[in-house]
Amino acid sequence: MQTKAIIERVMKNSVKSREGLITVLQEIVRQKKYINESDILDVAKELDLSPADIYGTATFYSFLDTKSRGKYVIRLCKSIIAEMKGKDEIEKVICDILHIKPGESTQDKMFTFLETNDIGWSDKEPSMLINADLYTELTPEKTSEIIKAYLNDNEIVKLESLKTKSIISDESCRNTIQYNCGELKGLVKKVDIIFNKDCGSSKKLTEAIKKDKDSFINEIIDSGLRGRGGAGFPTGLKWKFAKSAQDQEKYVICNADEGEPGTFKDRVILQEVPCKVFAGMALCGHVIGAKKGYMYLRGEYVWMKDDLNKIAEESNKMFKELGLDFAVELRMGSGAYVCGEETALIESMEGQRGEPRNKPPYPASIGFRNKPTVINNVETFIYVLEIANIGAQKFKSMGTVDSAGSKVFSVSGDTPKPGVFELELGMTLADFVEEFGDGDTKAVQVGGASGFCVPRRKFKDTIIGFEGIPTGGSMMLFNSHRSMYNVLHNYLEFFAEESCGQCTPCRVGCQQLLKGVEAIKSKEKSPKYLDDLLDLTETMKIASKCGLGQSVANAFKSIVLEFKEEIVY
């Protein structure tokens, strides 16, 4: 399809504007595999934008390729968990069959082989995307079979059985499918709120919207619910600010851009109970006075896009039937971890590079389209919906004072039970490891690459929750065979790539940390240089513009201080 036609199609229902830019670029990539100069010139003409500006926006996103790509773009996950689960072997298989290295394309332009940051399958690594098709739990044999099928173009159909498919179906919201997360010993308290069998989002929403708005907000505040994305801002307060903002136009955004390494719980939630997420968004819209909700779904989850769109449509119908003037719409990300930061996400939704904004102002007062906006995590929306039904008391009877309720965890790494578990907050890490460890757990990374690494000797004293170590849900277990240098190095590479690059402490700091540990390892720098780097992380923590740069210190410090000998020698 001609670029111009793509633009016409993508923007047929809306005014041609900057906001649609990323959707247009995504469609160009979908159809042509990459965006070339003349594509951008066409887009520039149609949208009245500067081509350099568009080029700058496209190059921000890993999935908006501006370099020549083959018919099949292979993106092999290179997260630390993928590495632990044999990513290198898979890489070798691909390289051997296609005779190319990562980053290269085959001469016949059939394949491009890329590596990519966490694609959200730490429970089933190694994993890869080939265009929008997903393959998980790869073995060398399986990989070979897959690549060979693509080599022989017309054998791809045979791959259906090997593909990992979206599991949302008409049945899902009636919950005939339960995410199988295995039996637990009972050291941690399993909870069944998010995935509970009686989904009934329509019924729950019907009840919830009968409540007085202000007292409902107070109820959420009273419940102690804090944002489940990781930062932990009190949800009720956020809604209160947005509700009190004097503006006719407000927005609800569901942050489904879970990019934190080792996190995949939103993926499962969206597969299992998407109706509840949309219902939670509608409830938010009803309470704060917003008519429009957007779900910003990470580009790595493109394979569930069509299914989610269907559910969104059904949900919108349901909202209408309930008399709610509210509709949800899906927006896709394009491979940029930092877009999980709420203001970066807004920038991205507005068709810009996903660079975090200066705060204040916060989105609750000035957000999407400069209007008051509530942005919550996928899981948070469900909890609000559930609190409306079970009440604040019951919710806060779980967990602790600072960490009320339960939370969905993504468990991965050296564990016999990788998967998603909804657990009561406030457990000690010792109990968690007892439950999920393989008996040889050396350390647990709580909260992903931007979280903290806790060594064995601290398991007992570490509480999972806001009084201890808060987490967006990522729990990666490492046993004694794992090199903590490799773990740290993997994180630092990740941050150096995924920093938006606008602020000095983060852009340069991440590179310095990465090159610094490499130099210490190779003896170019003395072990004492680690102290300089630790010092630097203090500056990154207090002087970076957003949470990304501010939290690099967490993993760095905790790994370097606890596993110094592994970093140095």
Partner 1 sequence: MEKILELKINNISVSVKEGTSILDAAKKLNIRIPTLCHHDDLCVAGNCRVCVVEQKGVKTLQASCAVPVSNGMEIFTNTEKVRKARKHIIELLLSEHNANCTTCYKNGKCELQDLAAEHAVGENNFIDLLQFHEYIIDRSSASIIKDDSKCIRCQRCVRTCSQLQKVSALAVVNKGSEQKIATFFDQPMASVVCTNCGQCVNRCPTGALTEKNYISEVFSALGDSNKHVIVQTAPAVRVALGEDLGIDIGSRVTGKMVTALRRLGFDSVLDTDFTADLTIMEEGTELLTRLKKVLVDGATDVALPMTTSCSPGWIKFLEHKFPEYVQNVSTCKSPQQMFGALAKTYYAQKRNLDPANIVSVSIMPCTAKKYEANRPEMRDSGYKDVDYVLTTRELARMIKQAGIDFKTLDDSNYDSFMGDSTGAAVIFGATGGVMEAAIRTAYEIVTGREVPFNNLNITPVRGMEGVKEASLKIEGCLETWKFLEGVELKVAIAHGLVNADKVMQSVKDGLSHYHFIEIMACPGGCLGGGGQPIPTNLEIRNKRSKAIYEEDMGLTIRKSHENPEVVQIYKEFLEKPLGHKSHELLHTHYIKRDRY
- Smallest distance from the beta carbon of 152 to partner 1, in angstroms? 35
Measured between its terminal Cα atoms, the distance across the chain in Å is: 56
User: Near partner 1 by CB under 8 A, which window of 48-56, 287-295, 380-388, 425-433?
Assistant: 48-56
- 225 lies in the site for partner 1, by CB under 8 A: no
Angle between helices 140-151 and 87-98 (to 10 degrees): 30
CA pair distance 283, 291, nearest whole angstrom? 11
- 516 lies in the site for partner 1, by CB under 8 A: yes
Q: Which of residues 261-290 bind partner 1 (CB under 8 A)?
A: none
CA pair distance 169, 176, nearest whole angstrom? 10
- Smallest distance from the beta carbon of 112 to partner 1, in angstroms? 18
Interface size with partner 1, residues (CB under 8 A):
52
- Smallest distance from the beta carbon of 65 to partner 1, in angstroms? 12
Instruction: Please say whether the beta carbons of 104 and 91 come within 8 A.
Output: no
Instruction: Please say whether the beta carbons of 484 and 478 come within 8 A.
Output: yes
> How many Cα atoms are found within 13 Å in the side-chain-facing hemisphere of 368?
26
Q: Which of residues 107-126 bind partner 1 (CB under 8 A)?
A: none
Extract the runs of DSSP E, i.e. beta strands, from 221-325. Answer: 251-256, 292-297
Judged by CB under 8 A, the residue of 142, 291, 511, 557 near partner 1 is 511
- Smallest distance from the beta carbon of 347 to partner 1, in angstroms? 12
CA pair distance 408, 340, nearest whole angstrom? 18
Annotate each residue in 417-456 with x if it binds partner 1 (CB under 8 A) or - if it does not, as one string: ----------------------------------------
> How many Cα atoms are found within 13 Å in the side-chain-facing hemisphere of 82?
27
Q: Which of residues 333-372 bind partner 1 (CB under 8 A)?
A: 336, 338, 353, 358, 360
Centre a 10 Å sphere on the Cβ of residue 213 and count the other Cβ atoms it contains. Answer: 14
Judged by CB under 8 A, the residue of 508, 534, 557, 568 near partner 1 is 508
- Smallest distance from the beta carbon of 54 to partner 1, in angstroms? 8
- 299 lies in the site for partner 1, by CB under 8 A: no
Annotate each residue in 301-320 with x if it binds partner 1 (CB under 8 A) or - if it does not, as one string: --------------------
Which CB, 271 or 343, lies closer to partner 1?
343
- Tokens 């907000």 appear where? 217
Judged by CB under 8 A, the residue of 497, 521, 534, 568 near partner 1 is 497
- 143 lies in the site for partner 1, by CB under 8 A: no
CA pair distance 565, 149, nearest whole angstrom? 46
User: Near partner 1 by CB under 8 A, which window of 42-50, 471-479, 480-488, 558-566?
Assistant: 42-50
- Smallest distance from the beta carbon of 514 to partner 1, in angstroms? 8
Residue 481's alpha-carbon distances to 74, 449, 478, 484, in angstroms, are 30, 19, 8, 9
- 51 lies in the site for partner 1, by CB under 8 A: yes
User: Shortest CA distance to 178 belongs to which of 189, 161, 162, 190?
Assistant: 190
- Smallest distance from the beta carbon of 535 to partner 1, in angstroms? 8
- Tokens 């402490």 appear where? 505
CA pair distance 459, 435, nearest whole angstrom? 13
Question: Which contiguous run of DSSP H or E holds residue 10?
Answer: helix 3-10
Instruction: Please say whether the beta carbons of 458 and 428 come within 8 A.
Output: no
Q: Which of residues 517-556 bind partner 1 (CB under 8 A)?
A: 519, 525, 529, 532, 535-536, 538-539, 541-545, 550
The footprint of partner 1 (CB under 8 A) covers 37, 40-41, 44-45, 50-53, 55-56, 59-60, 66, 336, 338, 353, 358, 360, 495-505, 507-512, 515-516, 519, 525, 529, 532, 535-536, 538-539, 541-545, 550
